[in-house]
Chain A
Amino acid sequence: MEYVSPEGLRLDGRRPMEMRQIRAEIGAVSKADGSAIFEMGNTKVIAAVYGPREVQNRSQQISSHALVRCEYSMANFSAGDRMRKPKGDRRSTEISLVIRQTMEACILTHLLPRSQIDIYVQVLQADGGTRSACINAATLALADAGIPMRDLVTSCSAGYLNSTPLLDLNYGEDSAGGPDVTLGILPKLDKVTLLQMDSKLPIDLLENVMQLAIEGCKAIANYIREILLENTNQLEYRRGV
């Protein structure tokens, strides 16, 4: 199947190096300590952070660090076919683990000993790149909760179809079976914290595709920064002195 037309347009009308439209909103869950909604095109994810709070299961308490937990779930109505998945299926367990490890790497857990941080992410609409969207939403929610972090983590995916590197794959391109690289970076420190790939990609092309994903991550980081700064300003001026 043709994923990039001769005119250089993709299935949804984007250019190969174009990202979908992103939108973020802070403070979607009123009872949570921090929360956010993140959208990338038709992919929509909600994240809520609770904590740092007392560890629920005493045996899991760590005396020098905070315990970070993450739960990923997909709403039944999120994908095309309304599937009733059991709660702990393999895919969501794996993504929970990935998100937990990525976020744990950037949270300064040693500042919050003997406490627990819970991150809940739910996919409201799935259209490819849910993993990236979840990580971006979780970053925003953690920043909103006032949890100290080394840096913001942002994530974006890239692929390689019809011998063209493509940025930010949607569901159609994702299910084409081509290579799909999901990348998570710390933009300020310029470090990679997450790198996952489906299928195979020649080694000389990997660098190109990764570079493209890095550019995507940086663009998202700039947007997230803007949103956070505006939110902080708003909180400060509304409070008054």
Chain B
Amino acid sequence: MEREVRGIQLPLSQTQKVRLQKALEQLQSLSLKVNFDASVVVADSISVNHEDGVLKGHGTADLNGEVVATVCGVVERVNKLVYVRALRSRYKPEVGDIVIGRVVEVAQKRWRLEINYSQDAVLMLSSMNMPDGVQRRRTAVDELNMRCIFEENDVVCAEVRGFQHDGLHLQARSRKYGKLTRGQLLRVSPYLVKRQKQHFHHLEEFGIDLILGCNGFIWVGEHIEAKDDMVEDQVNQSDPQVLLPSKNSVSLEEQEKSYTTLETRKYICRAANAIRVLSTLGFNITLEIIKGIIDLSLSLNLDIHDMLGSEFCVLVAEKEAERRSSNKKKR
């Protein structure tokens, strides 16, 4: 039985097809040994031991005393709790997640951000550090100057603060959060990004920053040195009430400084294409794997645009199969 590989709409030659099929079969056989037969689709009943008592979690419902799935996914059991982990779905926020969003609206004392959730997230003016680094009450003047901080369509990195009565709130109370510039934003399915200790990465050998947002938004951009603002601010802090509109006052010298070198831009594109390949193949996206693919493309001396071709896609699948099976042996 031959079925098109989901989401991969590339013109594959006959040999490439066979190779891809083989790599995917290897991946399948590797995962079958781990958890077999745990997948369910909508309205499948989940077998549970009722005598022990059952706690029904997300993605399950009760039907005549039976536990049934309400989404397609994988059944997970933690003690008494039974829930279904949905694969392809929108982002489900958890407190403390690092997310990347796009500003859709500047409203009263808040920005509204699109973060691939069922509602827009709210970032309050009061729950973010001011660019001048001063801790104080936010005044009406600050509110009027909100567009100096973020405008519509800006890409912003923030942390999930929690649910309030009017929706999901974010916060950006650190130097590492804030507006992202000079790079690319990629959107992948959120299930491909795993929650980890570290979501901000600096790839020193390429001079780029990589932020893996838990909501499936991934930022690849030029590395920006986190500078200590407190020192600098003492000097040019003439009027803390007014934020300088920086747009018009950029001197030539500063423009020179903000110029991204061709080398860096190429690496940004290379990393972005690596993530695109992973996303079309549906492989997990982590720093290690992205680095591996960038190295693979560099060692093959591949052009950046060729990374999206069918040959590289097959190579990545083969390499991933190899990597996973060697990981398995080590254990």
Contact = CB atoms under 8 A, between A and B. Distances in A.
B87 interface: yes
Contact of A147 (B4, B71, B74, B119): B71
B72 A238 contact: no
30 contacts: A25-B4, A33-B88, A33-B90, A51-B118, A53-B118, A54-B118, A115-B119, A143-B42, A145-B89, A146-B71, A146-B72, A146-B73, A146-B86, A146-B88, A150-B43, A150-B61, A228-B42, A229-B39, A229-B72, A230-B3, A232-B40, A232-B74, A232-B87, A233-B28, A235-B191, A237-B31, A238-B27, A238-B282, A239-B282, A240-B27
B279 to A, nearest CB: 10
A51 B43 CA distance: 21
Contacts of B284: 239-241
A15 B284 CA distance: 48
A57 interface: no
Contacts of A27: 6-7
B96 interface: no
A85 interface: no
B59 A148 contact: yes
A241 B32 CA distance: 12
Nearest to A52: B118
A14 interface: no
A159 interface: no
B68 interface: yes
B43 A241 contact: no
Contacts of A187: 43
Which 9 residue pairs across A and B have the least CB separation, nearest first?
A: A146-B89, A52-B118, A237-B31, A115-B118, A148-B70, A188-B43, A228-B41, A238-B282, A146-B86
Contact of A145 (B24, B88, B192): B88
A111 B42 CA distance: 15
B72 A231 contact: yes
A92 to B, nearest CB: 27
**What interface size band does chain A fall in?**
35 or more
A237 B27 contact: yes
Interface in A210-241: 225, 228-241
A124 interface: no
Nearest to A188: B43
A228 B118 CA distance: 23
Interface string A66-106: 10000000000000000000000000000000000000000
A39 to B, nearest CB: 14
A238 B189 CA distance: 13
A199 interface: no
Contacts of A229: 39-41, 72
B81 to A, nearest CB: 17
A26 interface: yes
Interface string B227-251: 0000000000000000000000000
A61 B286 CA distance: 37
A33 B87 CA distance: 12
Contacts of A237: 27-28, 30-32
A231 to B, nearest CB: 7
Interface in B70-107: 70-74, 86-90, 104
A191 B261 CA distance: 64
A170 B100 CA distance: 49
A39 B192 CA distance: 30
A112 interface: yes
Nearest to B72: A232
B256 to A, nearest CB: 38
B309 interface: no
B35 to A, nearest CB: 8
B324 interface: yes
A232 B61 contact: no
A30 interface: yes
Contacts of A238: 24, 27, 281-283
B63 interface: yes
Contacts of B141: none
A189 B74 CA distance: 22
A30 B7 contact: yes
